Amino acid sequence: MTKAASALNPPPAALGRSPRVPETLDDLRAKIARIERKPRTFDAPADGDAPWRMGVAEMDCRLGPLGLAADGVHHYQAAPPEEGPPLTMSVASTQAFMLAVAAGRLAQFAPPVPPARGHAPEPDILWCVRASFAREFGRLSRAGLRAFGLDPDRVLIVEARRDDDVLWALEEALRSRAMRLVAGCISDVALTPARRLALACAEGATPLLMMTDPRASPVAAAATRWRISPLPSAPHPLCADMPGAPRFSVRLERCRAAPLAAADQSPVALEWCHDTFSFRMAHEFSDRTFAPDPAPGRRSEPPGRVIAWPSAA
């Protein structure tokens, strides 16, 4: 029974050794969860129905079988400046991480149909900040978006004057169902607006990525909460003087869907690959030689199955 339980809900350490996420059982669970949350009559699975994952096993096993909630609030916070890099940098890093996550979400949809000649493409992402925030921390750049595999013509930028306007715009965008993803930066979110945003996410079946100030209180209704800061990169593979792929120190502080799996609060070092537009483990961590396995026979078995074997005695 203990064995069965550990196989169904394996501790992250066990998965660290075999970085393959169990599929069959998780997919079934995801399906059941979807059926329970929003009953569908006969629709074929649409775009973007697959669980939204980070693409890195270490991160995905903390997120639980459902992955990131496609209709929830994901709360990002930069690391406070006393923990290392200056605020400007950790805020930029957090925003970049949000862009990368957004790119991962958009990649789940079929590539957009190119618009007819003379028509602008329809935007998929709404990026909403306070105007003063954009002035201080920099404006989203058209050329820079390409490094995340995002099409600048599909981004709608909203610069509101006040935090209240940002909240309103985020909620409108979520409820309109016009966007595939909504992202916003705001100084702080009180309890009621946070709840409203979460409801709007569920109603519009649209995810919201939200960044608040490093010291703001946690957003109550968030599906996940993250703490991001930049990490020094490894040397470039071709030239040791040049920085390699950008790295993030990512800490999943909370995950409502898998509270136990996310209990491991240690930060994970992720690298963003500008060529494949995907995350990977920073290789100092992923290329570690494994400790000698105490039970060599177990590693070959795929997880997610209940296997009985005779006791060691």
- Interface positions, 106-165, toward another protein (CB under 8 A): 109, 115, 117-124, 126, 131, 134-135, 137-148, 152-153, 155-161, 165
Residue with Cβ nearer another protein (15 or 185): 185
Site mask, another protein, residues 162-181, x = CB under 8 A?
A: ---x--xx--xx--xxxxx-
In one letter, which amino acid is 301? E
Site for another protein in 1-40 (CB under 8 A): none
Cα radius of gyration (the chain)? 21
Question: How many other CB atoms are there within 10 angstroms of residue 192's CB atom?
Answer: 9
CA distance 287 to 282: 9
Of 10, 51, 230, 303, which one interacts with another protein (CB under 8 A)? Answer: 230
CA distance 230 to 211: 15
Residue with Cβ nearer another protein (25 or 178): 178
CA distance 306 to 8: 9
Residue with tokens 């060691």: 312
Site for another protein in 182-211 (CB under 8 A): 205
CB of 58 to another protein, least distance (A): 19
CA 214 to chain centre: 18
End-to-end CA distance of the chain, in Å?
18
Helix axes 163-176, 191-204, angle to 10 degrees: 20
Residue with Cβ nearer another protein (37 or 305): 37
297 CB contacts (<8 Å, ≥6 apart)?
none
Site for another protein in 280-309 (CB under 8 A): none
Query: Residue 60 belongs to what H/E stretch?
Result: helix 57-63
Q: Cβ(41)–Cβ(58) under 8 Å?
A: no
Of 66, 99, 197, 201, which one interacts with another protein (CB under 8 A)? Answer: 99
Closest CA to 133 of 106, 99, 156, 165: 165
CB of 240 to another protein, least distance (A): 9
Residue with Cβ nearer another protein (25 or 140): 140
Candidate segments 3-11, 235-243, 252-260, 298-306, binder of another protein by CB under 8 A: 235-243
Residue with Cβ nearer another protein (35 or 242): 242
Of 11, 19, 84, 302, which one interacts with another protein (CB under 8 A)? Answer: 84
Asked if 231 interacts with another protein (CB under 8 A), we say yes
Residue with Cβ nearer another protein (117 or 310): 117
Residue with Cβ nearer another protein (121 or 304): 121
